[in-house]
Chain A
Amino acid sequence: MILSYDFHLHSCLSPCGDDDAYPTIMAGMAKAAGADASALTDHNASRNCRAFLAACEAYELIGLTGMEMTTSEEVHVLCLLPSLEAAAELEKYVRERQMDIRNKPDIFGWQFVTDENDVVISEEKRLLITAASISVSATPDLLASLGGIAIPAHIDRSSFSLLSNLGAFDRDMGFPTVELSTAADPKALVKAYPALSGVPFIVDSDAHRPGDIPDITHTLESDGTKPEDIIRALREGSGLERL
C-alpha cells in the first residue's frame, strides 16, 4: 500500500518547539495535513512519544517513536523506532553519553513532558539539544540493534547536517535512506554530491509548531501498517523517491 508520511515532528519537549506543540496536537495536525504515518522526534528525547502514540491511535494514524539525535559531530540523525520500549532504551543510551548542561528556558525555551490529556507531567531540566558522544557512523548499527532505522536528517541544510558537518556522503557509512528538508533541491544536491545519486530519500517537515506541517505529498510503499513494516520499507527504500 502507498502511505503518505511525515516522520520528523517536534513537540514541547524540544526546547525550540512551541509550548503549544503538544504531542497530541502534532499528531492531529499531521493527520489533518494528510499523513498516514508519522513519528515524534524530539531532540535526544522520546518521553513525549507515549502521548503521541495515544493520539495517533485516536486519529487512526500509524505512529512511530523516535528522536532526532545530535551526534558527537553535531550531525542530526533522525532515529525511528517501532515501540516505546525501544525509544526509552535509546533515550537512556543517549542520555548517558550527553553533556549534562542545564537548560535556560528564557534562552532556549521550555522542555515539557506532557500526557495524552495535554497535562504537563514534568519539566526536563537538562538542555536536550547538546551533542552525545556517539559518532554518526555508529548510528546505523545502534538503531538496527533496537529494531529501528537511522536516517541523516535534513542533509541539504547548512547546519547540523551530515553534508554541512562532514562535507561528504559515503554509502559505506551504512545509511540506506536520507532525509531532505522541504526546501531542498534534489537535483542541485546530486550535482554537488554525486555519491548521493540513486540514494532513496524522504522529505519531512521538521515542524516545531502545530501550524508548520505543510500538506503532505511524499509517500512510501509498505506491505503493512505496523511500525515494523514502515521501518522495513524505509530500510529498503520501498516506494521512495531517489536522488
Chain B
Amino acid sequence: MKVSEVSDALGLKQLNAPDEDREVTGGYSGDLLSWVIGRAAPGDAWMTIMSNVNVAAVGLLADVSMIILAEGVEPDEPLLQKAALNGIGLYSSPMGAYELSWRLKGLLEK
C-alpha cells in the first residue's frame, strides 16, 4: 500500500509529502529513538509522539516510508525544516499510536 493510500485512509494531515508513491510495508510504534533505530524496518510507517529534530535523523537512518506524529503533537520548526530538506514523509494525526497502529495493521492486511 502506498503512502498516499495510508494517508487518505487514516485521514492524516500532510506536513511534508515528498514521495507519496513509496510502499508502506509495515509499521513501528515507539518513542525511544534508539529503539526505533535498532528495530524499525525499512519501509515501515513509524508512529511516535516525539516531535523534535532528532525524529527526522532517526527516520532517515531507519529508512521508514513515513513518519506519523500521533496524539496531535506539533512538530518543532527544525523538524519541519529537516524533513523538507531530506525528503522525509511527515504526517500527523489526532489519534494515539495504539489506534493508528491498529488501523494501519487492518489496512496492510487487506
Interface readout for B1-40 with A: 1 if CB under 8 Å, 0 if not?
Answer: 0000000000000000000000000000000111101100
What is the number of residues of chain B that contact chain A, defined by CB distance less than 8 Å? Answer: 13
Chain A, 115-173, CB within 8 A of any chain B CB = 127, 129-131, 158-159
Which residue of A70, A73, A74, A107 contacts B61 across the interface (Cβ within 8 Å)? A107
Is A193's beta carbon under 8 Å from chain B? no
Chain B neighbourhood of A70, CB < 8 A: 34
Is B41's beta carbon under 8 Å from chain A? no
Q: Answer whether A108 and B61 are a contact pair too, CB < 8 Å, given A74-B32, A159-B50.
A: yes
- The answer for the CA separation of A74 and B33 in the assembled complex, in Å, is 8
The A interface is mostly helix, strand or loop, or mixed, namely loop
- The answer for the CA separation of A73 and B34 in the assembled complex, in Å, is 10
CB proximity of B61 to chain A, nearest CB, Å = 6
A-B contact count (CB 8 A): 32
The B interface is mostly helix, strand or loop, or mixed, namely helix
CB proximity of B24 to chain A, nearest CB, Å = 21
Evaluate contact between B61 and A99: CB separation under 8 angstroms: no
Evaluate contact between B61 and A130: CB separation under 8 angstroms: no
- The answer for the CA separation of A64 and B50 in the assembled complex, in Å, is 33
Evaluate contact between B60 and A130: CB separation under 8 angstroms: no
What is the number of residues of chain A that contact chain B, defined by CB distance less than 8 Å? Answer: 14
- The answer for the CA separation of A159 and B51 in the assembled complex, in Å, is 9
Evaluate contact between B37 and A130: CB separation under 8 angstroms: yes
Residue of B32, B34, B50, B61 most packed against chain A (CB within 10 A) = B34
Chain A, 184-224, CB within 8 A of any chain B CB = none
Is B57's beta carbon under 8 Å from chain A? yes
Is B52's beta carbon under 8 Å from chain A? yes
Chain A, 63-78, CB within 8 A of any chain B CB = 70, 73-74
Evaluate contact between B54 and A127: CB separation under 8 angstroms: no
CB proximity of A164 to chain B, nearest CB, Å = 10
- The answer for the CA separation of A158 and B53 in the assembled complex, in Å, is 12
Some 30 contacts from A to B, beta carbons below 8 A apart, are A70-B34, A73-B32, A74-B32, A74-B33, A74-B34, A99-B34, A99-B38, A101-B37, A101-B38, A101-B61, A104-B61, A107-B57, A107-B60, A107-B61, A107-B86, A108-B57, A108-B61, A127-B37, A127-B61, A129-B34, A130-B33, A130-B37, A130-B38, A131-B32, A131-B34, A131-B35, A158-B52, A159-B50, A159-B52, A159-B54
The 10 A-B residue pairs with the shortest CB-CB distance in the complex, in nearest-first order: A131-B34, A130-B34, A74-B32, A159-B52, A99-B38, A107-B60, A107-B57, A107-B61, A101-B37, A108-B57
Task: List residues of A whose CB falls within 8 A of some B CB.
Answer: 70, 73-74, 99, 101, 104, 107-108, 127, 129-131, 158-159
Task: List residues of B whose CB falls within 8 A of some A CB.
Answer: 32-35, 37-38, 50, 52, 54, 57, 60-61, 86
Given known contacts A99-B37, A130-B33, A158-B52, what 9 new A-B pairs fall within 8 Å (CB)? A99-B34, A99-B38, A101-B37, A107-B57, A127-B61, A129-B34, A131-B32, A131-B34, A159-B52
